[in-house]
Structure 1
Amino acid sequence: MKYFLFFLLLGLPQALSAHRPLEPLQIAREFVDTDGWPEMKEHLCCEAEQQAKNQTLGQQIPARLQRSCQLLQQGASTAVVAVELRDSVSRNDFYLHFAKENDTWKLQAIRSLSMTQLGSPMLKLLTAMPPAEVAQYNQKHPDANHDFTVGNLKLWIGADADIIDHFTHHQADFQKALRLVQARKYFPADTTADNEEAANTDPEIRPLLRKLYISRVTQQETDCNSCIKFIIGGRIDNTVGLLYQPKAAEVPKMNPDRLIVVRTISKGWYLYKTTSGNNRQ
């Protein structure tokens, strides 16, 4: 009898582990694995049930792509996991939003930056231009010349890792632009369109923004009027940029309906992306 109890106790931790609810990061890894996941439907809710009726995300994407998952946020009732897909020539990012139902985590929605389809053809056209055409382009577009447009497009359609790398290599200039905006008080509590226009046409700030491939600086765009946003680009409500907010408690929360990702880059600096209900991927 004592041997029976010994083996029973020995197997108890494994049994408890087998029935322990999965955490968001565990669900994400199963969901993007190439082999599929028989228990998938038990861990889906809301629109994710429609987005993955019969196959996981891992089964729907090419098997050659490497995939990695990173937990960005996990609270009492919501969580977000970033998924990077990559091969030798490309990198793409998705964001898995989770909600907790009856003490069980469920995948709620899958998000990525929408309306980027025109970016690649535009970039290909611009980078193929001979010098004479580049000169003509610069004459016609003095406010956004060839170099700026190419650099801006690369960031707009690029991977999160590319944007983070761009910020890291140019952090001193980002900090300089931020200091100028703050010192000149372009964004008071009651910011107006005139304030924003003045900031973006400032003779010292504007060249920095162009050098950094930033379309404009604003306090609009997210649900954080105390944040300063350096917008890279996008279409309609689907934008990508960098956000500055030194107080972590005031950084806006991620949600699948608007602010699909807020990703820490450096102290006070974040990468962010938005979407709208009518334009989701």
Structure 2
Amino acid sequence: MKKFSTKIFLVVLLLSLNISAQQYTKGSPEWLVDMFFNSSSFEEKINYYTGEMMNDLQQPTIGEELKESDAQILFYKILEKDNRQNFAVELEVNERVIDFYCYIIKENETWKIEAIRRFLLPRFIYSVYDSLSNLPSPSPPDQNLMKTLQLFTMNDAQLKNYLNSKDDEYSNIVWYFNRNENEEVDSRLSLLGCNAVYKDNRFPSCVFIQINTFKRMETGFFYANEKSVIPLMSPKEFIYIEKVLPGWYLYRIM
């Protein structure tokens, strides 16, 4: 009886492993994301890489790098347009969440990974924020900078939660900005820990609220009505765009 039970357990275990391995159809965009970030081996990468990724054929994937860790991976699609699908990937390891973005295109009826991006700030920015956080009595300018850096170093999920909790305040900034009431705008930006509000000539109906910027890196929110032309998420410039609330988007530039 004991031997029979053991055999049943092994069969069930093998079946469950097989189901897990077949969770996504081979060659599908979801399968590619799973293979790159979650699989301990991606031997067929030469068939599923394109563009700049061809330079990384000899480099390990994220899944291969983390095969000995207890990392948890969550991913979801945030853009599907023509022959392109983009995914946001949340990697949780050592109680820390790291955001990646995966860009997939279809070439000759085959889905391929075009690029991988990560919004990685220089270490000194985190050090400055930690130093400010440890000040016993920070001055008002230090408090403002600390708030800005706190937002700048947040992960995507934290920023989306922040926008959800402050949507009325951000809507007020847009209202005052459109009426050229600059003093009111500056005051409200400071309270929210943001750096600037502006429009981009390429997207004239969008109002961008910049949290902070460092060299070519930028994080913030933008407001757009239903008829607005908004930026396209791609490996160049706007590496991440996700709708958070009606009319409101989180963006990252790199």
**How many residues get paired?**
231
Distance in 2 between the 1:86 and 1:209 partners? Answer: 31
CA contact (8 A) 1:115 1:234 kept: no
What does 1:30-109 align with in structure 2 at a 5 Å threshold? Answer: 30-61=35-66, 63-87=69-93, 89-109=95-115
Letter in 1 for 2:252: K
| 104-113 or 30-39, larger mean C-alpha shift | 30-39
CA contact (8 A) 1:99 1:108 kept: yes
CA contact (8 A) 2:205 2:225 kept: no
Q: Does 1:219 align with 2:207?
A: no
Instruction: Report the counterpart of residue 272 of structure 1 in structure 2.
Output: 251
Distance in 1 between the 2:95 and 2:129 partners? Answer: 15
Distance in 2 between the 1:117 and 1:35 partners? Answer: 28
Distance in 1 between the 2:136 and 2:39 partners? Answer: 43
What does 1:1-281 align with in structure 2 at a 5 Å threshold? Answer: 22-61=27-66, 63-87=69-93, 89-131=95-137, 134-135=138-139, 138=140, 145-182=141-178, 184=179, 186=180, 202-220=182-200, 223-247=202-226, 250-275=229-254
CA contact (8 A) 2:72 2:92 kept: yes
Distance in 2 between the 1:51 and 1:274 partners? Answer: 23
TM norm structure 1 = 0.76
When you count strand as a share of all residues, which structure comes out higher?
2
SS in structure 2 of the partner of residue 251 of structure 1: coil
Give how far 1:21 is off.
6.0
In the TM superposition, structure 1's runs of 4+ consecutive aligned residues that sit over 6 Å from their partners are none
Give how far 1:261 is off.
1.0
Unaligned runs of 5+ in 2: 1-21
Distance in 1 between the 2:122 and 2:232 partners? Answer: 24
Letter in 2 for 1:117: R
Give how far 1:213 is off.
1.0
RMSD over aligned CA atoms reads: 2.2
CA contact (8 A) 1:248 1:268 kept: no
Give how far 1:209 is off.
0.8
For residues 86-143 of structure 1, the C-alpha deviation after alignment (integer angstroms, 9 at most, x for no partner) is 2453211111111210011110111122443322111111111122xx24xx4xxxxx
